[in-house]
Amino acid sequence: MTNQLDGLPVVVIGAGPVGLAAAANLVERGIACTVLEAGDRPAAAVRQWGHVRLFSPWRYNIDTAARRLLTDAGWVEPDPEVLPTGAQLAADYLQPLADLPALKPHVRYSARVGAVTRYGVDRLRTAGRDTAPLLVRLDSGEDILARAVIDASGTWTTPNVLVASGIPARGEHAAAAYVEQALPDVLGADRDRFAGRRTLVVGARHSAANTLLFLAELATQEPGTSVVWAIRSDSAARTYGGETADALPARGAIGTRLREHVDAGTVELVTGFAVQALTTADGRVVATDGTREISADRIVAATGFRPDHTIAAELRLDLDPILGATRALAPLIDPNEHSCGTVPPHGVDELTHPEPGYYAVGAKSYGRAPTFLLATGYEQARSVVAALAGDWTAARDVRLNLPATGVCSSNVPLELATITSSGGEQRSGDTCCG
């Protein structure tokens, strides 16, 4: 009897860093694949935070299989000690990777996935489920059958709301025109929206710190620019992180510089402020926590991201009720217990769902946990592909060497002129990815 899965490709959703790493591993193992990217070119989400510089150098930002394929094609690797921006990561690494003759025919753009299910089998039916192909339906209506699906679509398009309770603030939808997603290009393309205006940044992780430092720089260039930073906790110590004790000096410098701006009054810090409602009047927006109000021209919601599992609604997923990661992975990445540097090695076993052949990797695999690292995603992809190839020894030989100091709590740190590459103390796993 012919196996229905014979001859079908592995479908990879997303042509970002982890999706393309999965594709590189698949190509190396001779496994047919199709990469579906919603954007019109690779790394579409990365390019949206292209103005941000990563806090680890090139040597830690490149997947091992991808490096081998690129090197064999004559690619010249960037200086391994230089810290790239998101734009450089996309242009100098991810674009050449996607353009390799070995990968290019398998990558499709403007191919947004609307649903993943089992061909001829809904979520209720058990008989024959593990031998039925996975069906990937595009928004265009096209159906693609697959032997497995690796979902590396990330969380960039599904940011968290402003309110600590996890639901939108009262009036948040009505005030949407005043609210920015994390990491606007304050000193570049988005400058006019912030220059000479008062901006409220809500959030306590590195994406908030990034924007605050950019705005502090803008305030020195544009008269009338002011910055307010609101956090739920009573202290900004977590955002400041390890500072000079951080295993990643570039990351530690972010906390140090932000603290200096707060001490100098360039950034006004409001602690213990949990947004409950937004109102708008006379071209301004007012945030209130029930007793206090903060008035601003713009609000940047740097409150993190969450996964959207809607496309897999007909699959049998075993998701942790708190994080939205797999139930096996959740305790290993719980931000109440772990920073990114203390997450233990994990791979296909922790990423497996009751649904055979479906894996979420990369930022999406972490659910709401803000501790995802780019190198972690690369190792996830390698492990999953090894399992698909039947190489269970390699699949379960998962190795991570992560920084144990500092607070690594978000995914794309900021660099301005004073942050430089940090040299040999950085290790694999240091890179956060948006």
pLDDT in tens, 79-105: 998 999 999 999 999 999 999 999 999
Question: What pLDDT score was predicted for residue 405?
Answer: 41
The string of pLDDT tens digits covering residues 375-418 is 899 999 999 999 999 999 999 999 876 554 433 433 333 333 22
In the structure, what pLDDT confidence band is assigned to residue 106 with cuts at 50, 70 and 90? very high
| H or E element that contains 268 | strand 267-270
pLDDT band at 349 (very low <50, low <70, confident <90, very high): very high
Helix axes 374-388, 64-72, angle to 10 degrees: 80
Of 252, 253, 211, nearest to 229 by C-alpha is: 211
Confidence band for 201, pLDDT divided at 50, 70 and 90: very high
Residue pair 250/403 in contact (Cβ under 8 Å)? The answer is no
Residue 373 confidence class, pLDDT cut points 50, 70, 90: confident
What number is the average pLDDT over the span 423-427? 24
The angle at the Cα of 374, spanning 258 to 416, to the nearest 5 degrees, equals 30
- Integer Rg of the chain from CA: 22
> Coil, strand, or helix at residue 299?
strand
What is the model's pLDDT at position 246?
58
pLDDT digits (tens, 9 = 90+) for 182-194: 999 999 999 999 9
378 DSSP 8-state letter? H
What confidence score (pLDDT) does residue 342 get? 75
Give the pLDDT confidence score for residue 3 in this predicted structure.
Answer: 74
User: Could you report the per-residue pLDDT of 218-232, keeping only the tens digit for each?
Assistant: 999 999 999 999 999
Same topology, domains 10-157+305-400 and 176-301? Answer is yes
307: Cα separation from own chain's centroid = 10
pLDDT at 51 > cutoff 60: yes
Q: What is the mean pLDDT of the chain?
A: 88
Query: How many C-beta atoms surround the C-beta of residue 32 within 10 A?
Result: 13
C-alpha triplet 72, 386, 430: angle, nearest 5°:
70
Cα–Cα distance between 423 and 57 in angstroms, integer? 8
pLDDT in tens, 205-257: 888 998 999 999 999 999 999 999 999 999 998 888 765 555 555 666 788 89
Give the CATH fold of the 176-301 domain: FAD/NAD(P)-binding domain (3.50.50)
> How high is the pLDDT of residue 245?
53
The pLDDT tens digits for 1-11 are 457 888 999 99
Query: In a 3-state reduction of DSSP, which class is residue 349?
Result: helix
CB 389 within 8 A of CB 27: no
Q: How confident is the model at residue 337 (pLDDT cuts 50, 70, 90)?
A: confident
| DSSP label at residue 182 | S
Place of tokens 């734009």: 87
Q: Which helix (H) or strand (E) holds 33?
A: strand 33-36
Alpha-carbon torsion angle 413, 414, 415, 418, nearest 10: -100
State the Cα–Cα distance between residues 351 and 181, nearest whole angstrom.
Answer: 29
CA gap 226, 268 in Å, rounded: 8
Could you count the other beta carbons within 10 Å of the beta carbon of residue 66? 28
Give residue 206's pLDDT: 82
User: Cβ(99)–Cβ(126) under 8 Å?
Assistant: no
Supply the DSSP symbol for 164: T
Q: What token pair was written down for 338?
A: 């772990």
Rounded CA separation 108/96 (Å): 15
Any idea where the domains of the chain sit in the sequence? Answer: 10-157+305-400, 176-301
Sorted by sequence, the CB contacts under 8 Å of residue 39 that are 6+ apart come out as: 15, 45, 109, 110
> What is the pLDDT, as a whole number, of residue 307?
95
Task: State the Cα–Cα distance between residues 77 and 80, nearest whole angstrom.
Answer: 8
One of 1.10.238.10, 3.50.50.60, 3.40.50.2300, 3.90.1150.10 is the CATH number of 10-157+305-400, namely 3.50.50.60
pTM to 2 decimal places = 0.89
Q: Do residues 19 and 384 touch, judged by C-beta distance below 8 A?
A: no
**Contact between residue 47 and residue 73 where contact means Cβ atoms under 8 Å apart:** no
Amino acid identity for residue 245 in this structure:
A
Name the percent of the chain lying above pLDDT 70. 88
